[in-house]
Amino acid sequence: MLSALVLAAGASRRMGSPKALLRIGETTFLQHIVGTLRAAHINDIVLVLGASEERIRENLAWFDGTIAVNRNWHEGQLSSIIAGLDALQPGHSRGVMICPVDHPLMTKDLLKALVHAFETSDKKIILPTHKGRRGHPVIFDATLFDELRRAPREVGARAVVRNHPDDLEEVPTPERGVGVDIDTMQDYEKEILHRSYRHSP
C-alpha cells in the first residue's frame, strides 16, 4: 500500500493565516489535496499538524484519516515528515507520497502517473517535472524511511534525493502546478484567485 503524508504543520508566517484553510474553488487547500489523493485511490492518509493545530482541527469534521501532531514543527519540513512516518503502521506501507499543503495544484491524473511509475519501475524515488524543473509531490520507497529520519534537518528530504541519483524516476508532466508554492498572499492571488484552474480532483 502507498500512503500519503499531507504536511500542514508550518506557522504560515508570511501568509498570515494557515495555508491549509485557504480556499481553492469551493474547498480548502487541505480538502482539495485529500480529495485528489482519494480520487487517485490513495486512501491511507496521514495529516501532519503543528503550529495551527487547534484552528485546523476545528475544520476537520470531514477528515477520517490519521492525524499526527508535530511538536517540533519549528525545526522545518523534515520534522513533519518524520512525525508522519512515525504515525504509519509499521510495515504497512510500501512507500509514501509527500504532499506539502502549500503545493495544492495537483490533479488525479498527475497522482495516478506518479503511482504508476512507482509500481512499474524499480526506482525508489518518484517525482514530477515540468519543463525540466522538479516539483511536488514526491514518492519515497519504504526502504528510504530510515534515511529520511537521519537526513540533515537543514537540508531535509532533498538530501535523500541527492544521495540516490540512480534510484530516481522523473515523471514529466504538462502541469505547471507541480512547481507552484503558495507561500505569500501575493502567490495566492496570482496562482489561485486570478487563474482558472480545475479545482476538482
Domains and CATH numbers, the chain: 2-191 (3.90.550.10)
Helix (H) or strand (E) holding 36: helix 29-39
Confidence class of residue 37 from pLDDT cuts 50, 70 and 90?
very high
Q: Is 16 exposed, middle or buried (0-12, 13-18, 19+ CB in 10 A)?
A: exposed
C-alpha cell at 170: 522523473
State the pLDDT at residue 201: 44
Higher-confidence position of 45 and 89: 45
State the pLDDT at residue 195: 64
The whole-model pTM stands at 0.93
Q: pLDDT > 90: what percent of the chain?
A: 86
- Chain-centroid distance of CA 70 in Å reads 15
Q: Are 128 and 173 in contact (CB under 8 A)?
A: yes
**141 - beta bridge partners?**
95
State the pLDDT at residue 199: 43
Q: Are 166 and 156 in contact (CB under 8 A)?
A: no
State the pLDDT at residue 14: 79
Could you give the C-alpha distances from 184 to 19, 105, 132, in angstroms and in order? 9, 15, 25
